[in-house]
Amino acid sequence: MNLKYKYICILILTILTLGCGPKKGIVTKEKDQKNETEATKDVKAEFPDNKIEEEDEAKPPSSTDNYILLYAEIAKDQMRKSKIPASITLAQGILESGSGRGRLAVEANNHFGIKCHGWKGAKIYHDDDRSQECFRKYERAESSYKDHSEFLTGRRRYADLFKLKPDDYKGWARGLKKAGYATDRKYPQKLISLIERYKLYKYDEEVLGKKNEQVEIVPVNSGVVRYIVEKGDTLYSLAKRYNTSVEAIKELNNLNSNDLALGQEIMIPN
């Protein structure tokens, strides 16, 4: 009787063990699946425009972003010399040149659409208000920026603009239209919109010392970095450091020579 009872107990324990094992496994699997679903929702919420399997890629800079990187230092330099807000100069350059892609900018380095007006240098003819009007042609974009400053500082009708605070970009935008710089009635709003969208006012602040300029490497995207030239830098040393070529750097920055200036801002293919 005791032996029979013993076998019955063993049989019951065996059945209970087999019955519990698979059940426990199923519960664990269901719990894991629930955790994976919640994690998937979190990732999808953070990256709504991408599949969960795909790595989020950095958005490449636009032509306007690249334009700002190329010419911000020139605009700041002109602000120091002529008192024209760098934000205004950049916004005008973006608007007038189509972010450097317009024909006058590409073929004549004319970023501000300045017409001949007694100009004795090289010329280019382009349809504007009238057919085949005469525009100034420059060897370098820097000359266009310098001429733009001289154009504004050398004409009496713009004199009141220089009475404004040096960072009053809204006053400058409206004042340019009032002084007859542009016929487009929306010209001030377009300049202000560009300045605020791309935060161009920060360059005014840098010139005025309201914010400390940081001399550092600033990433633009996975393939390009913005670099401030330091003492001892050469195109060859930078090309070697970033595993690129001198010609690639020159082409990206529209450089005609290998000369670099201390504090110069350039873009480097990384």
- For 50-62, the pLDDT digits (tens) are 333 333 344 577 8
* Token pair in block for residue 36: 């994976």
- Contact predicate 111/138, CB 8 Å: no
Residue of 73, 107, 58 whose CA lies nearest to 267: 73
Residue of 263, 257, 256, 258 whose CA lies nearest to 231: 263
Task: Identify the band that residue 260 occupies on the pLDDT scale cut at 50, 70 and 90.
Answer: confident
Q: Which of 49-53, 121-125, 182-186 has the highest mean pLDDT?
A: 121-125
- Contact predicate 233/260, CB 8 Å: yes
Predicted structure pTM score: 0.58
Q: What is the pLDDT of residue 152?
A: 96
- How far apart CA 223 and CA 121 sit, in angstroms, is 39
Supply the angle between the helices 86-97 and 187-197 in degrees, to the nearest 10. Answer: 110
* Token pair in block for residue 179: 């002084």
The answer on pLDDT for 159 being more than 80 is yes
- Contact predicate 270/239, CB 8 Å: no
